[in-house]
Chains A and B, each alone.
Chain A
Amino acid sequence: MTTLELLQLLGQGLLETLYMTLISTFLSYLIGLPLGMILTVTDKKGLRPNRAINLALGFVINMLRSVPFLILAVAIIPFTRWIVGTSIGSTATIVPLVVAAAPYVARMIESSLREVDAGVIEAARSMGSSDRQVLFKVMVPEAKPSLLVGATIATTTILGYSAMAGFMAGGGLGTIAINYGYHRYNTEIMLYTVALLIIVVQVMQEAGLHLTRRLDRRRRAE
């Protein structure tokens, strides 16, 4: 393989990985964000406690989260085929990624929102805020730094899952690492993909933390 071919291979893999990761993160938040809010709101100490909804939703989320990603991905292959028409390649991998990550995102959202100081919520209520206003005008903005840290962690976790999907021809850097490193014993290419993955995670992590620091209006002192 020439250097150019190698670069093309890795470049293609990197693009696929970023595509899967970003689209999956976006879709996971689309589903996980409202679920996380519902978990928070229906909690015993939430704005509208509702034991039935909270328990049911919590159960489904825990169940999905307790299945290891690869097993989950295999188990839902029929579902993936039904949605995408195939179960291999990066677009197909988005399905199990979202199914695995959305519950994870929901829990992260829940824990971020739960961190908001009860006193601050009480103050908002004393000013006549409705439950909706407390959630959207107080809890979400107050939890912003924690939500951003959560989003950073979620993105890098999804990136890790996407690499695992290489075992089932999921596309991206993971598949390259498996094909060359595992099936053909080409350690060199595998090391390149690993290095690329490390760099991508580092960049995402730093960018996320940088953004959080810039947007958090509390000063460092505390």
Chain B
Amino acid sequence: MNKQDNIILKVENLSKVFAIKPEPIEALTDINLEIYAGEIFGIIGLSGAGKSTLIRCLNLLEKPTSGRVFFKGRDLSSLPKSELLELRQSMGMIFQSFNLFQQRSAIENICYPLEIAKVPREQRLARARELLELVGLPDRETATPSELSGGQQQRVAIARALATSPSVLLCDEATSALDPSTTDSILALLKQINRDLGVTIVLITHEMSVVERICDRVAVIDRSRIVEVGSVTDLFVHPQSAIARQLVFPGGELVERLTGDAALRIVFDGESSFEPVLANMVLACQAPVNILSADSKNIEGRAYGQMLIQLPDDPAAQRRIREYLNSRKITFTEEIWNDNA
């Protein structure tokens, strides 16, 4: 099946301006996105970039100032209120702070969306128990949120969001309040839900590690604009925007101070063997290089890595290094670091 033919969410020329004093804030500028059914789509950006505003526009919790959002081909802003409310039942949402009802037990929390959907009581309870099982908390039915750990609360929130069998799950920094190992288990649960139930997941985060672990495609948002969209592999191998490089390569800030120096980003794209490239290159070219930053990742079962090296000032030495890398068929890109400002 061609993924492009199966767009579940489409954002068209969307902008959002908060009309606040003294100056209006443009939180989203001309956003265009296509999200395919069945994928895990990440949206990554720094704090204040507009991520939460964007995801809230997807189910119209936030009304866009201009532009449109299509869900399964239907223009959300053209829907009458009652239809919009009903449609929200096919888009679950989870949050950084879980947002469970504090005065309801776990199972009552999960029953809430079913009450809204007018499902009879017996069916509600049966469905809620099924979901508690799914998220691994079958024995915590009567626990209230204050009796659950953060990870457990997020599991209940996931169960609640899935109660009405939505086709899309929106996650706003769903793991940002959790410790690393709990984060892993929640991400694994999301991946499982995506795989087993076919739920499309839109996931917002400021952490590259989250994107890297579970996303298929990713959009990078920077100061209200989408600056890059593509597969996660592409983002790691060829980050286009300054912000993406900074996110992929957290060491980037350090390098920014070496503006003007010639630098190369060497990419290990999972194909090249594990020869000691750098050592061999230094020996072959008889030229010193400075490793500015290095990082390797395991993405989709293959090894990827990047290394940023600073070249010597001597143009002849620089040429020898480039020729050497070309001869070994190693991908590299020229870096200009003073565009990061």
| A→B interface (CB under 8 Å) | 117, 119-120, 122-130, 133, 137-138, 141-142, 144-145, 216-219, 221-222
B99 touches A127 (CB 8 A): no
Expressed in whole angstroms, the Cα–Cα distance for A124 and B157 within the complex equals 11
Q: Choose among B89, B102, B117 the residue that contacts A218 (Cβ–Cβ < 8 A).
A: B102
Closest A residue by C-beta to B96: A119
CB of B25 within 8 A of chain A? Answer: no
Expressed in whole angstroms, the Cα–Cα distance for A128 and B97 within the complex equals 19
Nearest-Cβ distance from residue A211 to partner chain B, whole angstroms: 14
A142 touches B103 (CB 8 A): yes
Q: Choose among A125, A133, A142, A145 the residue that contacts B61 (Cβ–Cβ < 8 A).
A: A125
Q: Choose among A123, A128, A133, A218 the residue that contacts B99 (Cβ–Cβ < 8 A).
A: A123
Question: Chain B residues near A221 (CB, 8 Å)?
Answer: 146
Task: Give the B interface residue count (CB, 8 A).
Answer: 33
Expressed in whole angstroms, the Cα–Cα distance for A120 and B61 within the complex equals 13
B85 touches A219 (CB 8 A): no
Stretch of B108-116, B249-257, B287-295, B302-310 contacting A (4+ beta carbons < 8 Å): B108-116
Question: Chain B residues near A138 (CB, 8 Å)?
Answer: 101
CB of B93 within 8 A of chain A? Answer: yes
Expressed in whole angstroms, the Cα–Cα distance for A127 and B87 within the complex equals 9
B116 touches A133 (CB 8 A): yes
Q: Could you give 11 example pairs across A and B, Cβ below 8 Å?
A: A122-B95, A125-B88, A127-B88, A127-B89, A128-B87, A128-B117, A137-B112, A137-B115, A137-B116, A141-B103, A217-B104
B146 touches A127 (CB 8 A): no
A122 touches B113 (CB 8 A): no
Question: Chain B residues near A142 (CB, 8 Å)?
Answer: 101-103
B85 touches A126 (CB 8 A): no
Nearest-Cβ distance from residue B335 to partner chain A, whole angstroms: 41
Closest A residue by C-beta to B97: A119
